[in-house]
């Protein structure tokens, strides 16, 4: 069950792949050199922001709310794996012939922690409003912590129609749909 805003299949145009990215606001590729057990090792990694995510349960609908959105990294990975593209360089691929839906994912409402003065709970509140259109009180966000190289706090919140403040959908060109299960 989806609150879809888009009906026609969408395609990208004017795609350009820039392989040497040094000015991203979201990731920073670095190369780590070290010795372990006397052996020299080189390891490439990507530094990124910590993030928050929330499992949203709608009490009246008795459904979980997820978001569906376009993820360029998923799009590129899927298209590069196609037989016709396996031997091509990225800028040799005709990206315009593949639908945006190849890069769409269904995921938890989530976002990066990018404002140092704002708590993770406040970041989560903002993401729920931005992506799903519900205003959840900070005290109603329950958490359990999982971690990787960067930590991600996962919250749980129950929502109902009295909390709805907008249609959601993200900001700028995000085009986020709500998906109910």
Any idea where the domains of the chain sit in the sequence? 49-180
CATH of domain 49-180: 3.90.79.10
pLDDT of residue 75: 96
Distances (CA, A) of 175 to 10, 32, 52, 143, 161: 11, 36, 20, 27, 22
Lowest-confidence range among 105-109, 111-115, 143-147, 169-173? 143-147
pLDDT of residue 144: 54
pLDDT bucket at 54, cuts 50 / 70 / 90: very high
Q: Token pair for residue 117?
A: 């003065």
Distance CA 62, CA 181 (A): 9
pLDDT of residue 148: 43
Distance CA 95, CA 107 (A): 24
Provide the whole-model pTM. Answer: 0.74
Mean pLDDT of 85-102: 95
- Which is nearest to 138 in space by CA: 147, 127, 146, 152? 127
Residue 150 has pLDDT above 70, yes or no: no
- 3-class DSSP state of 16: coil
């Amino acid at each position: 069950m989806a609150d879809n805003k888009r009906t026609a299949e969408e395609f990208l145009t004017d795609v350009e792949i820039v392989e040497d990215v040094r000015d991203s606001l979201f990731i920073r590729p670095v190369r780590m050199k070290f010795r372990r057990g006397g052996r020299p090792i080189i390891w490439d990694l990507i530094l990124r922001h910590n993030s928050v995510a929330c499992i949203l349960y709608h009490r009246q609908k008795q459904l979980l709310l997820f978001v569906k959105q376009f993820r360029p990294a998923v799009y590129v990975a899927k298209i590069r794996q196609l037989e016709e593209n396996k031997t091509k360089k990225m800028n040799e691929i005709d990206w315009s012939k593949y639908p945006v839906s190849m890069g769409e994912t269904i995921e938890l409402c989530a976002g990066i922690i990018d404002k140092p003065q704002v708590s993770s709970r406040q970041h989560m509140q903002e993401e729920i409003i931005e992506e799903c259109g519900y205003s959840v009180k900070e005290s109603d966000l329950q958490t359990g912590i999982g971690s990787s190289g960067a930590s991600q706090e996962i919250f749980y919140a129950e929502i109902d129609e009295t909390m709805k403040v907008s249609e959601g959908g993200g900001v700028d060109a995000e085009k986020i749909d709500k998906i109910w299960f």
